[in-house]
Structure 1
Amino acid sequence: MDKKKGLIYDPQKYFSRFIKYKFKTNFTFDVYRNFNHFNTDSLTNYSIIIFVVYSEKELSDLKKVHKKGIPLIVCTFNEEILKKMKKVDDIFLLDTSVIRSELTRELEYYFNSCLPPTLAKIN
């Protein structure tokens, strides 16, 4: 089975470790901590982008990758940012304050619903 390629932007690398471990059989992930190293021109190489937002600064970086035609999952621990992001269409929003088993279920659902049928079916 070919692994899908995903990109994770996680400035603190906390959440990306969890995702890489949980979904290593289905995905290979590139992880970026610094947005300056993030190449927005090569995003078409990825099946999905996971963008972890810890502060307002990451929201401005997020705007640079939003609407690029690649499924986007936005994860945040910050309740204020979570409320702001609920107003944004065409992203999957993940509240990372829930327990890990729920996070895993939600991510599986997101991966299966936003990827084309040939790439989906993660379990």
Structure 2
Amino acid sequence: MSKHAAPRIWFENQRVIRTFLQTVAGTLAGVATFVGILAAFAPQFLEAIREILPEDWYAGGLLVVAFIGTLAAVLAKVMALPLVNTFLTKFGAGSVPKSKVGLVLAVEQAQREEHADEQARQARGDLL
């Protein structure tokens, strides 16, 4: 692996939003599956829960799902920090596979140079 930091993460906010959505969707799907299995194999248990829990606890359940999604999104944002991403890359959990860091850094450097050349041409008025 290169001695340099891991490449920057593209579209950090997009990754955070997607993490939030997939966590909420996965949690809701898991809860729905669990309730469905209980309804099929232990309907008495669900009925007992309905009798014990007050109605406002169901809304509280949705708040728990939203909290889990938010927590996952915050963790995704922290993992997108350059220092954390570099640390994770050492263990193969970064935004780029450990074996490809050098290649990605070289591509990013070439893109920066190309952009700088383009800006210099624009400043000189050399546009083709």
Q: Give yes or no for TM over 0.5.
A: no
Ranked by relative contact order (alpha carbons within 8 Å, sequence separation 6 or more), the top structure is 2
- Output the TM-score relative to the length of structure 1: 0.23
Q: Which has the higher strand share?
A: 1
TM-score (norm 2): 0.23
Structure label with greater radius of gyration = 2
